[in-house]
Amino acid sequence: MEYSVFNSRWKKAVLWIVWIGFLLFTGEIIVRWTCPPLPRMSEYIMPVNDQRGYALKPNAHYLFWGLHGTLPEPVHYQINGQGLREDGLVLTEIPENRLRIATLGDSEVFGWSVNSTQTFQHLLEKMDDRLEVINMGAPGYNAENVAWQGEIMLEKYACHAVLYWVNPNDFFRSKSLVSLRVFQSFRSALVFQSYFFFERLKENREKRTRYSLVQVERMKTGLLQLSNICDSKKIPLFLAFSKPRDYDVLIKIPELKRAFKPESVLFIDSIMKMHPRVDGHLSAAGHGELASFLYREMAMPLFSKMESIKTASQPAGSIHSVQ
């Protein structure tokens, strides 16, 4: 009697395992046929043992087809040997008679939905051969990630000024490294899509609590750190805001007021509204408009300050502070 009961339970367990396996297999087939494949960020991003958590993978090449939808044509991500989205290597010192600007931020600064020749950094350099604009952006970075990226990169590469493109998502928590360490190695589309779905739910929850005390404190910490870095190096920090509301919230924080110098705060919301989004990010046309705006509002005033320093009988070609 006991044997028959045990045998019956064993059969039920096997049937359940077979049934669950069948459902998972069916789900895998349905997902692969109906959902566009998600980009595997581990192809161009890697975990690092510092406060950033992750960074661009040196010498990576990746064809990106879109995340929120399929792009009309793929975008080529090319990462140089220094872990920057640059075509060639960046010199540690500033080349003679060049104005060098470091750009920091998340996927918008990185140039998520455009090729490297379409980014605002590249277009700024095309406008004036005296300009060198380094792309230090990385997808998914929040304000604290950006600050640590600045801490590390500005120690390696001298520059005259820093531009931080402040995005609303910079208030949010850091991206989980689970997708890089574990799920990126899975070949199951069902597992990967399920993980992405739950990550989107978390992000939507963050959006509903935008400007919470935790989020504002996170943003304040990152901005203060980046501001202190620039102050210690005597280089100006420019802040470009996608949403004026972000500025309105942050300017009320007493500790941040010294970071918001009137001449170094830029509002680019009109550019963001003017151009349709491509996969949730600024289009190639928007990057062109942004480059023109930044050349007029940031690069030209910096050139003027550098010229005024040169006329004060400092040797040509030396690295000037424009604080």
Same domain, 54 and 146: yes
Identity of residue 29? I
179, part of any domain: no
Q: Encode pLDDT of 28-72 as tens digits.
A: 677 666 665 666 777 899 989 999 999 999 999 999 988 877 788
Q: Is the pLDDT of residue 100 over 50?
A: yes
Any idea what the CATH number is for the domain that residue 90 is in? 3.40.50.1110
Same domain, 18 and 83: no
Residue scoring higher pLDDT (68 or 254):
254
pLDDT at 322: 46
Same domain, 257 and 168: yes
Same domain, 10 and 76: no
How far is residue 244 CA from its own chain's centroid? 19
Number of structural domains, the chain?
Answer: 2
Same domain, 25 and 127: no
| pTM reported for the whole predicted model | 0.85
Same domain, 122 and 10: no
Identity of residue 147? A
DSSP state of 141: -
CA distances, 231 to each of 9, 110, 214, 227, 307 (Å)? 71, 24, 26, 6, 22
CA distance 18 to 291: 58
42, part of any domain: no
Domain of residue 116 covers: 50-174+210-310
Identity of residue 266? L
41, part of any domain: no
Q: Encode pLDDT of 170-201 as tens digits.
A: 999 887 665 555 555 566 766 766 766 677 77
3-state secondary structure at position 104: strand
pLDDT at 160: 96
214, part of any domain: yes
Same domain, 140 and 55: yes
262, part of any domain: yes
Residue scoring higher pLDDT (253 or 71):
253
The two beta strands, 61-64 and 75-78, are antiparallel
Q: Is the pLDDT of residue 323 over 60?
A: no
Neighbours of 62 (CB within 10 A): 18
321, part of any domain: no
Q: For residues 54 and 47, is the Cβ–Cβ distance under 8 A?
A: yes
Same domain, 254 and 128: yes
280, part of any domain: yes
Residue range 274-290: average pLDDT?
93
Same domain, 23 and 135: no
